[in-house]
Amino acid sequence: MPGIIPGKERFITVKDDILKVLLTEEEIQNKVEELGRRISQDYADKNLLMVSVLKGSVVFMADLMRAISIPARIDFMSVSSYGSGVKTSGVVKIIKDLDIPLEGYDLLLVEDILDSGMTLHYLREILYQRKPRSIRIATLLDKPERRGVDIYADYSCFEVPDEFVVGYGLDYDEKYRNLPYVGILKPSVYEK
């Protein structure tokens, strides 16, 4: 078989399951750096607290925070949505809460993708009750076609079509988060 070095086993890699690269590493890095500069300007006289919604946003968060040049704090939250099957019900349960009270902070919610928007809509309501100074949303990807509730991203790196994407933190069945780019899966992966 081509690509096999005699005597060496061929590893199965996550890349084998990718049909098409939608956003390259370079495209993502350029956008994230640009966004970091914008946020640094917008929050120069604010009290920035970046909140990453686990787990999908972790790669974006790691790159974005390093592109921000002003003082910033970070925290993590984990939520799961109630409801059966494929549809997000919009009611979320907090699995891991923030470590600090939010009063006096300008919150920036960092998300991997804004899809129906249900999860973030609900989460934002919960966090508003804790009386932060402000709440804004930064998302790597935005799928506006899918939006079911009135929510938009204050900062978004890329608009993507209504296709299931993986990589750079985004998963399918908890896999593919470690791909350094964003891609579309081969249909054979879903059909397995």
And the tokens for 53? 């919604």
Return the residues of window 32-61 that contact Mg ion according to CB under 5 A.
56
Partners of residue 159 on adjacent β-strands: 142
* Number of residues that this document lists for the chain: 192
Would you say 60 or 105 has its CB closer to Mg ion? 60
114 binds, among Mg ion, ligand IMP, none (CB under 5 to 8 A by kind): ligand IMP
170 binds, among ligand IMP, Mg ion, none (CB under 5 to 8 A by kind): ligand IMP
What is the per-residue DSSP string for 27-93? HHHHHHHHHHHHHHHHTTTS-EEEEEEETTTHHHHHHHHHT--S--EEEEEEEEE-SSTTS--S-EE
Would you say 106 or 115 has its CB closer to ligand IMP? 115
Would you say 56 or 132 has its CB closer to Mg ion? 56
Query: To the nearest whole angstrom, how small is the minimum distance from the Cβ of residue 102 to Mg ion?
Result: 20
Query: To the nearest whole angstrom, how small is the minimum distance from the Cβ of residue 29 to ligand IMP?
Result: 20
Would you say 49 or 165 has its CB closer to ligand IMP? 165
The residues binding ligand IMP (CB under 6 A) are: 56, 88, 111-119, 164-166, 170
Q: Which of 115, 142, 171, 173 is labelled catalytic?
A: 115
Q: Is 142 a catalytic residue?
A: no
Ramachandran angles phi, psi of 128, nearest 5°: -60, -35
Burial-class residue 47 by CB neighbours within 10 Å (0-12, 13-18, 19+): middle
Applying CB under 5 A, the site for Mg ion has a residue count of 1
Q: Cα separation of 3 and 6, whole Å?
A: 9
139 binds, among Mg ion, ligand IMP, none (CB under 5 to 8 A by kind): none
Element (H, E) at 139: strand 134-142
Residue with token string 């494929």: 86
CB 123 within 8 A of CB 112: no
Query: To the nearest whole angstrom, how small is the minimum distance from the Cβ of residue 171 to ligand IMP?
Result: 6
116 binds, among Mg ion, ligand IMP, none (CB under 5 to 8 A by kind): ligand IMP
Query: To the nearest whole angstrom, how small is the minimum distance from the Cβ of residue 63 to ligand IMP?
Result: 17
Please give the residue ranges that form the binding site for Mg ion (CB under 5 A): 56
Active site residues: 115
